[in-house]
Amino acid sequence: MHMISKDVQVDIHARNEHVAEHVHEYLTARGIFTVNVMGAPGAGKTTTLEKLIKLLPGTSYVVEGDIESDIDTERLRQQKISASQINTFGACHLDAPLLHNAVHTMEFAAPGILFVENVGNLVCPAEFSIGEDIKLLQVCVTDGSDKPYKYPLAFEKADVILLSKIDLLPYVDFNEEFFLKGLRHLNPEAPFFKVNGKTGAGYDQVAAWLSKRASAVTGAGQEK
């Protein structure tokens, strides 16, 4: 026996990335534009899906990612929104193989937008591609204005950022200037929208932006 050193240089995410590319190809071929919805628990991600799907002109699909339970899926189904559930049973994020298995059980009868609501967590979902076209990050004013500084990767990787629960601004010490300064240092390009889940204010602009962004994949049907 003797010892050797072998160069490997393999990215530990490489296999996940490979599956993510396959998922993306599979969905794109069906005219499905995929949005990875990220945010802390309680940021209002499911409420955002409810509001946006009502405003979007085409077909929408949802995959809900939670550690346990199908509360959000049932909530969406009661509103006649097509939704599937992934339970991770302990894992703190969705990865590409999990979404791969989910999309292969779904029927995509028409082109449209697939929202994948990731596990509520500002950390891990940003680290794993799932085959999405864009990452939507939602932060609410009660999360605190220091979040870009504490969880930079989620802000850096986001393609669109929503600040929700803005009706609570008078009651919380949310420093919007400090928040936006951190956000823009990490991500100068991503569109930023302020929304109110109670009244629905702000969601029409998000839906218009999303429709336009998705139209290259979904076809003209998503254009407003």
Partner 1 sequence: MHEGPVTEEIIRIACEAAAEQKGRVTAINLVVGEDSGFIGESIQMYFDVLSEGTACTGARLHLEGVKPKLRCTRCGQLFYRRPFSFTCPACGGDGRPTEIGKEFYVKNVELEVPDTCI
What does the binding site for partner 1 look like in residue numbers (CB under 8 A)? 1-13, 15, 90-93, 95, 123-124, 126-127, 146, 149, 152-153, 156, 182, 185-186, 188
Nearer to partner 1, 44 or 125 (CB): 125
Please report how close the Cβ of residue 11 comes to partner 1 at its closest, in angstroms.
5
Nearer to partner 1, 28 or 88 (CB): 88
- Radius of gyration for the alpha carbons in the chain, expressed in angstroms and rounded: 18
Nearer to partner 1, 108 or 178 (CB): 178
Q: Is 40 left (phi over 0), alpha (psi -120 to 50) or beta?
A: beta
Please report how close the Cβ of residue 27 comes to partner 1 at its closest, in angstroms.
23
Nearer to partner 1, 15 or 224 (CB): 15
DSSP 121: B
Please report how close the Cβ of residue 182 comes to partner 1 at its closest, in angstroms.
8
The closest of 147, 126, 151 to 136, measured between CA atoms, is 126
- The residue to which tokens 């209002």 are assigned: 44
3-class secondary structure for 66-77? ECCCCHHHHHHH
Nearer to partner 1, 88 or 142 (CB): 88
217, 133 Cβ separation under 8 angstroms: yes
41-42-47 Cα angle (round to 5): 120
CA dihedral 214, 138, 63, 207 (to 10 degrees): -30
DSSP 131: S
Please report how close the Cβ of residue 142 comes to partner 1 at its closest, in angstroms.
20
Please report how close the Cβ of residue 101 comes to partner 1 at its closest, in angstroms.
15
